[in-house]
Amino acid sequence: MQTEIRKISVGKDYPNGAMHFLVGKEMNLQGIPYKISKISVNGEYAKQDKIAYDIYLSNSDGGVLWKTVYDVPVVVENNINFD
């Protein structure tokens, strides 16, 4: 069962020393505002029996793949809906 990823925390020292990437978080890169629009499992790495996560950014001009995180400790938080 595939779930929607809400947040990943990357790094060995969770939660204090890890970098946190949260869907909806606003960020500024080179003076341009973006939001993290999606975090997903990278299918190409899955074919190699590795786990990697793609982080996508978007703004009013469109969206782009920003980072692929792999080969580091990652804590994943899934989106949970209690409808």
How many domains does the chain divide into? 1
**Rounded Cα gap, residues 7 and 56, in angstroms:** 12
- Would you say residue 51 lies in a domain? yes
- Would you say residue 59 lies in a domain? yes
- Would you say residue 79 lies in a domain? no
- Would you say residue 22 lies in a domain? yes
Instruction: Give the pLDDT band of residue 69 (cuts 50, 70, 90).
Output: very high
What percentage of the chain reaches a pLDDT higher than 90? 70
- Would you say residue 45 lies in a domain? yes
- Would you say residue 81 lies in a domain? no
| Residue span of the structural domain in which 59 resides | 5-72
**Rounded Cα gap, residues 14 and 25, in angstroms:** 19
- Would you say residue 48 lies in a domain? yes
- Would you say residue 83 lies in a domain? no
**Rounded Cα gap, residues 21 and 56, in angstroms:** 10
Each residue's pLDDT tens digit, 17-57:
999 999 999 999 889 999 999 999 998 887 888 899 999 99
| Whole-structure pTM value | 0.87
